[in-house]
Amino acid sequence: MSQTTTILAGDCTTRFETATTSDERIHRGRVVVLAKPDRTVLVHDRAGYQPVAWLTRPDSLTVEADDDGFAVTARDGDQRLSVRSHDAGEVVERPISAAGVPVGECPDPDCRAALVRAGGDVVCLGCGDAYGLPPGATVHDDDTCDDCGLPTMTVARGEKLRLCVDYACESLTEAVRGVLDRRFDCPDCGRDLRVREHRGRAFLGCDGYPDCETAFSVPSGTFAGECACGLPRFETATGVRCLDGTCERDRPAEPNVGP
Ligand SMILES: [Zn+2]
Ligand SMILES: [Zn+2]
Ligand SMILES: [Zn+2]
Ligand SMILES: [Zn+2]
Which tens digit of pLDDT belongs to each residue from 47-83?
Answer: 999 999 999 999 999 999 999 999 999 999 999 999 9
Strands (E), the chain: 3-18, 23-35, 41-44, 53-55, 60-66, 69-76, 79-85, 90-96, 101-105, 114-118, 121-124, 130-132, 138-144, 151-164, 193-198, 201-206, 215-217, 221-226, 232-236, 239-242
**Report field, pTM of the whole predicted structure over 0.85:** no
What is the set of domains in the chain, with CATH numbers? 3-96 (2.70.180.20), 101-170 (no CATH), 174-242 (no CATH)
CA of 123 to the centre of ligand 1 (A): 8
pLDDT exceeds cutoff 50 at 183: yes
pLDDT digits (tens, 9 = 90+) for 239-248: 999 999 999 9
pLDDT digits (tens, 9 = 90+) for 194-239: 999 988 889 999 999 999 999 999 999 999 999 999 999 999 999 9
CA of 232 to the centre of ligand 4 (A): 7
In the structure, ligand 3 is a single-atom ion and the residues with CB under 5 Å from it are: 186, 188-189, 206, 208, 212, 214
Residues near 259 by Cβ (< 8 Å), separated by ≥ 6? none
Tell me the mean pLDDT in the region 136-152: 95
Q: How confident is the model at residue 1 (pLDDT cuts 50, 70, 90)?
A: very low
pLDDT at 256: 62
pLDDT exceeds cutoff 70 at 85: yes
CA of 138 to the centre of ligand 2 (A): 15
Pick the closest to residue 65 from 87, 44, 49 (CA basis).
87
d(CA 229, CA 12) in angstroms, rounded, equals 68
Q: How confident is the model at residue 178 (pLDDT cuts 50, 70, 90)?
A: very high
